[in-house]
Amino acid sequence: MIELSPDEWVAVRLSLRIALVATIVALPFGLAVAWLLARKHFYGKALLDGLIHLPLVLPPVVTGYLLLISFGRRGPIGAFLADYFGLVFSFRWTGAALACGVMGFPLLVRPLRLAIEAIDRKLEDAAATLGADRLWVFLSVTLPLAFPGLIAGMVLCFAKALGEFGATITFVSNIPGETQTISAAIYTFTQTPGGDAAAGRLVLVAILISLAALIAAEWLARRAGMRFHGE
């Protein structure tokens, strides 16, 4: 077994919390956007699609900087949220979760959108004739049929959030116990003389978590697939 020091544990727990919160908070937005992109034609659709995918192609430092100037203490959105909702992002773990959520968002939306596009809309028509209104059609037909895509999107978003480095460190810095995730901790240890052992332990932990997430996702998707095609 790997023996982690208390400081390393803090980084691991913080990483898991940030990645989970980022994925869960991004999910409803991701569902709404994926559904819009899959089903609706509207003015500015290409722009929305582009904006969502931007964090995938921009240097993460740029995304982090943009978050800093808009969601930071003096940024327009950051000041508003802090004044009216007491929600502060800068140099807090919440800011790390925001950065991770933004970076993971395109990876969440893409499989979801493809899954929704692949659903036979005739099934949704059938549900409507049976008395389901739009919301129930979505909840009882669209969402369960898109479940494998949902799982894939959440795992990709979670994995991205877990490994995110550039945007997070630019936006909320590298504060142990508050914003220092596994990635940031590994980076710090590699810059510190004699930190190789600690870095190695955290690298192992990162591999284990990622592997567990992948296996869990595969299992869930397989189970969902089996439900559709057999008993």
Partner 1 sequence: MLSLDVEKRLGDFFISVRFESAGGVTALFGASGAGKTTLVNMIAGLITPDRGRITLDGAALFESSAGINVPVHRRGIGYVFQEGRLFPHLTVAGNLDYGRRMRALPRDPVETGRIVHLLDIGHLVDRRPGKLSGGERQRVAVGRALLMRPRLLLLDEPLASLDETRKREILPYFEKLRDEARVPMVYVSHNAGELARLATSVVWLDGGRVAGVGGVELLAAAREKETV
Footprint of partner 1 (CB under 8 A): 120, 122-123, 125-133, 136, 140-141, 144-145, 147, 227-231
- Length of the chain equals 231
For residue 108, the number of C-alpha atoms closer than 13 Å in the C-beta half-sphere is 28
User: Whole-number minimum distance, CB 53 to partner 1, in Å?
Assistant: 30
Helix pair 6-39, 196-229: axis angle to 10 deg:
40
User: Whole-number minimum distance, CB 137 to partner 1, in Å?
Assistant: 8
Look at the block and give the residue holding tokens 């939306």. Answer: 109
- Which residues neighbour 70 within 8 Å (Cβ) at sequence distance 6 or greater? 76, 77, 78
User: Whole-number minimum distance, CB 123 to partner 1, in Å?
Assistant: 6
How big is the CA angle at 75 (ends 20 and 188), to the nearest 5 degrees? 50
Name the residue nearer to partner 1 (CB basis): 144 or 177.
144
DSSP symbol at 75: S
Name the residue nearer to partner 1 (CB basis): 99 or 146.
146
Name the residue nearer to partner 1 (CB basis): 51 or 139.
139
The DSSP line for 114-172 is HHHHHS-HHHHHHHHHTT--HHHHIIIIIHHHTHHHHHHHHHHHHHHHHH--HHHHHHH
User: Whole-number minimum distance, CB 55 to partner 1, in Å?
Assistant: 33
Name the residue nearer to partner 1 (CB basis): 111 or 163.
111
Name the residue nearer to partner 1 (CB basis): 45 or 223.
223
User: Whole-number minimum distance, CB 151 to partner 1, in Å?
Assistant: 14
Distance CA 121, CA 145 (A): 11
Q: Token digits for 195?
A: 């930190």
Name the residue nearer to partner 1 (CB basis): 50 or 225.
225
User: Whole-number minimum distance, CB 29 to partner 1, in Å?
Assistant: 24
